[in-house]
């Protein structure tokens, strides 16, 4: 009970501290030696501490199942395992916002601690922008989604957490994703501050780079976790559906990826100043825009949350306030950019990075259009539509081809200017090799289109070239090589996976048998068991080869009582070549089971390659710290 | 000069998108669950709150032009604010208020009624919350206005406040 | 030298405008081709003739209408005004039940018969797709 008050007051205190920091910072902006500036660090720490206090109050409320708290009441119940009681803290709207705020205040504190080599007025300005964002979220939290609403008299039992969210991966997915999203706010604030002070240059790029890497790495990992979860929990055996909510997480990732490369060009060559700032703004606003679209329920997607138009309205105003603020600052201080008359050479690393940047922006716009076009159309003409995967596939796949080619050649070029390509012979040989492999696949599998064949060839090309780079033992660029290698592996495994996947769907009764190529799938028996908070129906399947190699798969159906929900747990047998995926579902009270069996080759490599991509980022962060 | 047009264009574009999103949010049918499928009120059999006798809705929903089915609970704070309006609504002769007590302890609920008054013609018990789900409720408090034919005329999610209270009166009086 | 630079810049500008126009054209064209319209059973009844395009149908699964055999599932989607028969062979989501909201994507065979390729479901049991709400609310 007391924790409700502690949590609530900590938040209020946080708001007071935040406004003190905000207004005093503005006042002392031009005062070189104020007492306040020297002690800002402590203030920022206190603010972080109070948010932490508030967050832990909520965690303990969840652990103790204190249903005097409305958030706990709505999202927890006594018989839930401890782990999910804790993760339930951020498994709901209010708690996840509190987590978001916690990371936000931590970032502000950490930035100030680590940016001592920046000019002090720029640091202060960054903190001002950061406080603006923090205050926006604090208002939102206290006004429209307070996690500490008290209920009296205290009910005995809570409503429970949606069972589909009771999953270890989904417990760590939001914190990691938020770390990625929120740390882009530092990049955003810092770029606006540096812009106002005319400090956008190669030194700034060097200092802000680690924040870009941190957010990029966490965002990559966050998306990966969400994707793995969707793969086994939603029971469809797909990992990416071009669903609006998935697109929304991909968009900031794309612009951040562009930023990761662009900031390198700024650091090394002192060009692309304004473009870097634009990308920083885009990345953060896309993150907030994502929050708006998901939380307001304006989109319709398979991953929806409880909708509340009032909340949506608030985030909408906040989002457009940030957009107009940054546009305004950009236009006013535009002439502070260093003008550059440096030439760009076609055969240079800079040029290939710029080109790839444009491709990434193209992918981003396609996804953005595909995601929000239905909203625009519905408002303007009242027609309800959805934009499906074919749209994205058609517009993205062909452009991946030149993208991958530039990605293979680019890192082998030098900065500024290359007169001729080094070891041209090698590159050409590898190119021919990849084309031969692709043609080989094309010949033997009739369902491969020409488009896919070319894409296959270029992704093999990137694959070989990155392997060749490893052989050169150039330790300087290890992180880049690992990430690029991971990306080529990702494209390759996605392609091979989509070409060679096979599936069969059927409705079966106990004893039924279906054929899948030369295999037979038999439903042997059903078994009922009772677990702590759900009933379990296990279906025993036997899969037999013609060589009589047997495989037993046991997919489950779980029937939870709080809240009453049915979920399917797929049975997945993973090895390095393929995943065998079997999922069943109940239809009414019927003796038929709805069964889907899939063989998906190279599934594990999709996850491994995404881990490799983020590993590159992690190495980069560590390398930076060692220096 | 060229730059100026670009700036204006960018600003107009964002203002435009703002209004699109704004009206997208305002479009009511996206959120309200008015007319959410079940049109006829389901005929459930529940236990009476005081006597614990089995009671069917069919037996209660008689002799009135309108019925207001209200889901409430003693632990629900907004229900208290709502109670004042329920008592106001009770004064109208054309409506009968039926309460469904949702996931509640009897002691607490009785205390609640003693303190705030009892506007309900009948109160039925929904201890485990299943009946409320069957009716299609989203939470507590929630109210359904039924007409003489036991069809759902309006569904009110959340507490009845000043604004919603006026709407309720309008429905009851208009078609009378 | 100066002249050459200007020419190069003009060429660059020309190329970028050209590619921008091409890309806008391409995006709009595929948007037009790949958009899936959402209709209620009443909308379908009001069509002049069954379209061959892929559409989504939304409404409630009618009570007692699910029939299942070894290779397909039949059911009826209703918006309480009109109904449409649906046949589907594939995996169904957990929340597919009678008297619950459903969205099916597929092709119309005729105005009262729909062949679904995909059935969509949502995470949240209480959640009803906005499109379904709308189509039920229009009555």
Spell out the residues 6+ positions from residue A575 whose beta carbon is closer than 8 angstroms to its own: A604
More confidently predicted of C18 and C135: C18
CB–CB contact A156 B31 (8 Å): no
Highest mean pLDDT among A73-82, A147-156, A229-238: A73-82
Residue A115 lies in a domain: yes
Quick check: A379 and B24 in contact, CB under 8 A? yes
Query: What band does B136 get if pLDDT is binned at 50, 70 and 90?
Result: low
A563 touching C, CB under 8 A?
A: yes
Strand ranges in chain C using DSSP code E only, listed in sequence order: 35-39, 54-61, 67-68, 73-78, 83-88, 101-110, 113-120
Residue A354 lies in a domain: no
Distance CA A580, CA C90 (A): 17
By CA distance, what is C79's nearest residue in B?
B37
On whether both A551 and A466 belong to a single domain, the answer is no
Residue A291 lies in a domain: no
Q: How far apart are the two ends of chain B, measured CA to CA in Å?
A: 66
CB–CB contact C128 B33 (8 Å): yes
CB–CB contact A153 B75 (8 Å): yes
Q: What is the CA radius of gyration of chain C?
A: 23
On whether both C27 and C49 belong to a single domain, the answer is no
On whether both A597 and A615 belong to a single domain, the answer is no
Instruction: Look up the CATH number of the domain holding residue C117.
Output: 2.40.50.140
Spatial CA neighbour of A488 closest among A450, A452, A448, A460: A460
Work out how many domains chain A is built from and give that number.
3
> Between β-strands B95-102 and B122-126, what pairing exists: parallel, antiparallel or unpaired?
parallel
Q: Which of A434-438, A518-522, C131-135 is predicted least confidently? A: C131-135
Q: Tens digit of pLDDT for each residue in C7-60? A: 777 888 888 889 889 988 888 888 888 888 888 888 888 887 777 888 888 888
On whether both C17 and C28 belong to a single domain, the answer is yes
Spatial CA neighbour of B93 closest among B164, B17, B172: B172
Partners of B7 on chain A (C-beta within 8 Å) are 331
Q: Can the peptide bond before residue B130 be classed as cis, meaning omega within 30 degrees of 0?
A: no
The separation between CA A390 and the C-alpha centre of its own chain, rounded to angstroms, equals: 22
Quick check: A359 and A403 in contact, CB under 8 A? yes
CB–CB contact B20 A309 (8 Å): no
> Between β-strands B152-157 and A556-561, what pairing exists: parallel, antiparallel or unpaired?
unpaired
Q: How far apart are the two ends of chain A, measured CA to CA in Å?
A: 48
What's the whole-model pTM score?
0.83
Quick check: A77 and A562 in contact, CB under 8 A? yes
- Which chains are within 8 Å of C by 3+ CB pairs? A, B
Q: Which two tokens stand for residue A388?
A: 């499906």
Q: Tens digit of pLDDT for each residue in B58-107? A: 888 887 888 888 988 887 777 888 888 888 888 877 888 889 888 788 88
Partners of C139 on chain B (C-beta within 8 Å) are 35
Spell out the residues 6+ positions from residue B165 whose beta carbon is closer than 8 angstroms to its own: B85, B88, B89
Q: Which two tokens stand for residue C133?
A: 């709400």
Q: At what angle do helices A168-196 and A309-332 cross, to 10 degrees?
A: 30
Q: Which pLDDT score is estimated for C122?
A: 52
On whether both C104 and C87 belong to a single domain, the answer is yes
On whether both A469 and A428 belong to a single domain, the answer is yes
Residue A72 lies in a domain: yes
Domain extent, residue A619, equals 421-501+606-626
- Which chains are within 8 Å of B by 3+ CB pairs? A, C
Q: Which pLDDT score is estimated for B37?
A: 46
Candidate from A154, A312, A379 with C-beta closest to B23: A379
The C-alpha of A77 sits at a distance from chain C's nearest C-alpha, in angstroms, of 17
Distance CA A523, CA A594 (A): 11
C121 touching A, CB under 8 A?
A: yes
On whether both C49 and C29 belong to a single domain, the answer is no
The separation between CA B96 and the C-alpha centre of its own chain, rounded to angstroms, equals: 15
Residue A597 lies in a domain: yes
Distance CA B123, CA A80 (A): 32
Distance CA A68, CA A165 (A): 23
pLDDT > 60? residue B36: no
Q: Which two tokens stand for residue A24?
A: 């005093």
Query: What band does A301 get if pLDDT is binned at 50, 70 and 90?
Result: low
User: With the CA atoms of A442, A446, A452 and A453 taken in that order, what torsion angle do they form, in degrees rounded to the nearest 10?
Assistant: 10
Quick check: A463 and A488 in contact, CB under 8 A? yes
Work out how many domains chain C is built from and give that number.
2
Query: What band does C130 get if pLDDT is binned at 50, 70 and 90?
Result: very low
Helix (H, G, I), strand (E, B) or coil at C75: strand
Distance CA A586, CA A366 (A): 38
On whether both C12 and C79 belong to a single domain, the answer is no
Q: Could you write out the three-class secondary structure of chain B?
A: CHHHHHHHHHHHHHHHHHHHHHHHHHCHHHCCCCCCCCCECCCCEEEECCCCCEEEHHHHCCCCCEEEEEEECCCCHHHHHHHHHHHHHHCCCCEEEEEEEECCCHHHHHHHHHHHCCCCCEEEEECCCHHHHHHCCCCCCEEEEECCCCEEEEEEECCCCHHHHHHHHHHHHHCC
Q: Which two tokens stand for residue A324?
A: 């107009």
Q: Which pLDDT score is estimated for B1?
A: 45
The hierarchical CATH code for the domain B36-174 is 3.40.30.10
Distance CA C122, CA A241 (A): 13
Residue A94 lies in a domain: yes
By CA distance, what is A563's nearest residue in C?
C125
Distance CA A527, CA A530 (A): 10
On whether both A582 and A531 belong to a single domain, the answer is yes
Helix (H, G, I), strand (E, B) or coil at A22: helix
* % of chain A exceeding 70 in pLDDT: 91
Q: For residue B46, list its beta bridge partners.
A: B55
On whether both C5 and C54 belong to a single domain, the answer is no
Distance CA C66, CA A434 (A): 51
Q: Tens digit of pLDDT for each residue in A39-52? A: 888 889 999 999 99
Distance CA A499, CA A512 (A): 29
Q: Can the peptide bond before residue B70 be classed as cis, meaning omega within 30 degrees of 0?
A: no
Half-sphere exposure of B70 (CA within 13 A, CB side): 31
Candidate from A152, A307, A324 with C-beta closest to B31: A307
Distance CA A218, CA A244 (A): 21
On whether both A4 and A132 belong to a single domain, the answer is yes
Q: Tens digit of pLDDT for each residue in C73-96? A: 899 988 777 889 999 988 888 778
The backbone region for A467, taken as left when phi is positive above 0, alpha when psi lies in -120 to 50, beta otherwise, is alpha
Which H or E element spans position A1? none
Q: What average pLDDT is seen over chain B?
A: 78
Kindly report the number of other CB atoms within 10 A of residue A97's CB atom. 23
On whether both C101 and C131 belong to a single domain, the answer is yes
For chain B, give every domain's residue range.
Answer: 1-31, 36-174
Which H or E element spans position A208? helix A202-233
Q: Which pLDDT score is estimated for A479?
A: 87
Q: Which two tokens stand for residue A407?
A: 């990605």
On whether both C121 and C92 belong to a single domain, the answer is yes
pLDDT > 60? residue A148: yes
The C-alpha of C111 sits at a distance from chain B's nearest C-alpha, in angstroms, of 22
Q: How far apart are the two ends of chain C, measured CA to CA in Å?
A: 73
Q: Tens digit of pLDDT for each residue in A104-138? A: 999 999 999 988 888 888 999 999 999 999 999 99
CB–CB contact C133 B29 (8 Å): yes
Distance CA A401, CA A546 (A): 40
Cite the DSSP H helix spans in C35-120.
41-45
Partners of C93 on chain A (C-beta within 8 Å) are 235, 585
Distance CA A161, CA A91 (A): 8
Q: How far apart, in Å, are the Cα atoms of B73 and each of B83, B84, B100, C38, C81?
A: 11, 15, 8, 39, 36
Domain extent, residue C17, equals 1-34
CB–CB contact B20 A375 (8 Å): yes
On whether both C12 and C59 belong to a single domain, the answer is no
Candidate from C26, C37, C68 with C-beta closest to A383: C37
More confidently predicted of A321 and A313: A321
By CA distance, what is C95's nearest residue in A?
A566
On whether both C127 and C103 belong to a single domain, the answer is yes
Q: Which pLDDT score is estimated for C137?
A: 43
Q: Can the peptide bond before residue A227 be classed as cis, meaning omega within 30 degrees of 0?
A: no
Distance CA B16, CA B13 (A): 5
The C-alpha of C84 sits at a distance from chain A's nearest C-alpha, in angstroms, of 19
């Amino acid at each position: 009970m007391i924790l409700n008050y502690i949590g609530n007051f900590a938040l209020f205190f946080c708001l007071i501290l935040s406004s003190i920091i905000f207004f005093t910072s503005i006042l002392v902006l031009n005062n070189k030696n104020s007492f306040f500036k020297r002690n800002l660090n402590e203030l920022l720490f206190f603010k972080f501490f109070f948010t932490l206090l508030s967050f832990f109050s909520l965690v303990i409320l969840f652990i103790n199942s204190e249903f005097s708290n409305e958030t706990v009441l709505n999202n927890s119940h006594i018989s839930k395992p401890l782990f999910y009681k804790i993760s339930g803290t951020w498994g709901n709207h209010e708690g996840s916002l509190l987590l978001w705020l916690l990371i936000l205040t931590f970032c502000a504190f950490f930035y100030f601690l680590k940016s001592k080599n920046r000019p002090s007025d720029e640091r202060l300005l960054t903190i001002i922008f950061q406080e603006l964002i923090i205050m926006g979220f604090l208002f939102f939290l206290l006004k429209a989604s307070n996690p500490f609403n008290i209920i009296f008299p205290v009910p005995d039992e809570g409503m429970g957490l949606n069972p589909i969210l009771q999953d270890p991966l989904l417990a760590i997915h939001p914190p990691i994703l938020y770390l990625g999203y929120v740390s882009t706010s530092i990049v955003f604030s810092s770029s606006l501050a540096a812009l106002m002070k005319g400090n956008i240059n190669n030194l700034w790029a060097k200092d802000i780079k680690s924040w870009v890497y941190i957010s990029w790495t966490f965002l990559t990992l966050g998306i990966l976790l969400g994707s793995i979860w969707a793969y086994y929990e939603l029971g469809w055996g797909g990992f990416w559906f071009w669903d609006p909510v998935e697109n929304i997480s991909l968009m900031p990732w794309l612009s951040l990826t562009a930023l990761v490369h662009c900031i390198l060009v700024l650091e090394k060559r002192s060009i692309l100043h304004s473009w870097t700032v634009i990308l920083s703004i885009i990345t953060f606003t896309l993150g907030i825009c994502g929050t708006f679209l998901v939380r307001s329920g304006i989109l319709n997607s398979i991953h929806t949350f409880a909708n509340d138009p009032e909340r949506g309205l608030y985030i909408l105003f906040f989002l457009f306030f940030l957009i107009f603020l940054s546009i305004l600052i950009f236009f006013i201080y535009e002439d502070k950019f260093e003008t550059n008359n440096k030439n760009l050479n076609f055969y240079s690393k800079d040029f290939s990075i710029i080109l790839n940047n444009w491709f990434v922006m193209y992918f981003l716009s396609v996804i953005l259009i595909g995601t929000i076009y239905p909203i625009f159309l519905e408002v303007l003409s009242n027609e309800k539509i959805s934009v499906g995967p074919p749209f994205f596939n058609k517009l993205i796949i062909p452009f991946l081809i030149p993208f991958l080619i530039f990605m293979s050649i680019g890192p082998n070029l030098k900065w500024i200017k290359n007169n001729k390509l080094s070891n041209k012979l090698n590159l050409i040989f590898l190119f021919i090799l990849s084309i031969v492999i692709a043609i080989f696949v094309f010949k033997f599998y009739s369902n491969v289109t020409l488009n896919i064949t070319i894409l296959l060839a270029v992704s093999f090309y990137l694959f070989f070239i990155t392997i060749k780079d490893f052989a050169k033992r150039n330790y300087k660029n290890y992180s880049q090589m690992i990430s690029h290698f991971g990306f080529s592996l990702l494209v390759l495994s996605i392609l091979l996976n989509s070409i060679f996947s096979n599936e069969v769907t059927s409705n079966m009764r106990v004893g039924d048998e279906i054929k899948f190529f030369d295999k037979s799938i038999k439903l042997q028996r059903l078994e009922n068991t009772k677990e702590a908070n759900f009933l379990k129906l296990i279906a025993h399947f036997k899969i037999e080869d013609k060589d009589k190699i047997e495989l037993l798969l046991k997919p489950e159906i779980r029937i939870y009582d709080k809240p009453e929900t049915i979920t399917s747990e797929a049975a997945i047998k993973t090895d390095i070549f393929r995943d065998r995926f079997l999922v069943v579902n109940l239809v009414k009270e019927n003796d038929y089971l709805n069964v889907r069996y899939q063989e998906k080759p190279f599934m594990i490599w999709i996850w491994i390659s995404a881990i490799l991509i983020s590993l590159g980022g992690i190495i980069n962060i560590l390398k930076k710290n060692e220096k | 000069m060229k730059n100026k047009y670009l700036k204006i264009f960018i600003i107009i574009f964002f203002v435009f998108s703002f209004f699109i999103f704004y009206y997208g949010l305002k479009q009511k049918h996206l959120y309200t669950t008015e007319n959410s499928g079940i049109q006829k009120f389901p005929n459930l059999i529940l236990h009476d709150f005081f006597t614990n006798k089995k009671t069917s809705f069919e037996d209660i929903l008689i002799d009135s032009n309108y019925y207001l089915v209200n889901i409430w609970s003693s632990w629900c704070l907004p229900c208290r604010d709502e109670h004042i309006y329920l008592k106001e609504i009770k004064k109208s002769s054309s409506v009968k208020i039926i309460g469904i007590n949702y996931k509640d302890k009897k002691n607490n609920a009785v205390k609640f009624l003693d303190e705030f008054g009892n506007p309900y013609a009948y109160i039925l018990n929904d201890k485990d919350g299943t009946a409320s789900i069957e009716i299609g409720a989203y939470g507590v408090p929630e109210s359904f206005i039924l007409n003489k034919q036991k069809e759902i005329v309006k569904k009110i999610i959340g507490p009845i406040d000043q604004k919603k209270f006026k709407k309720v009166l309008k429905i009851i009086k208009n078609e009378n | 030298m100066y002249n050459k630079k200007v020419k190069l810049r003009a060429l660059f500008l020309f190329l970028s405008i050209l590619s921008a126009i091409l890309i806008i054209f391409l995006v709009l064209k595929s948007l037009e081709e790949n958009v899936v319209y959402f209709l209620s059973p009443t909308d379908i009844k009001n069509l002049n003739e069954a379209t061959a395009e892929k559409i989504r149908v939304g409404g409630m699964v009618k009570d007692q209408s699910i029939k299942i055999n070894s290779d397909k599932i039949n059911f009826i989607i209703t918006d309480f005004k009109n109904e449409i028969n649906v046949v589907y062979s594939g995996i169904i989501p957990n929340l597919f039940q009678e008297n619950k909201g459903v969205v099916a994507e597929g092709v119309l065979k005729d105005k009262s018969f729909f062949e679904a390729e995909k059935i969509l479901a949502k995470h949240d049991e209480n959640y009803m797709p906005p499109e379904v709400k709308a189509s039920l609310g229009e009555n």
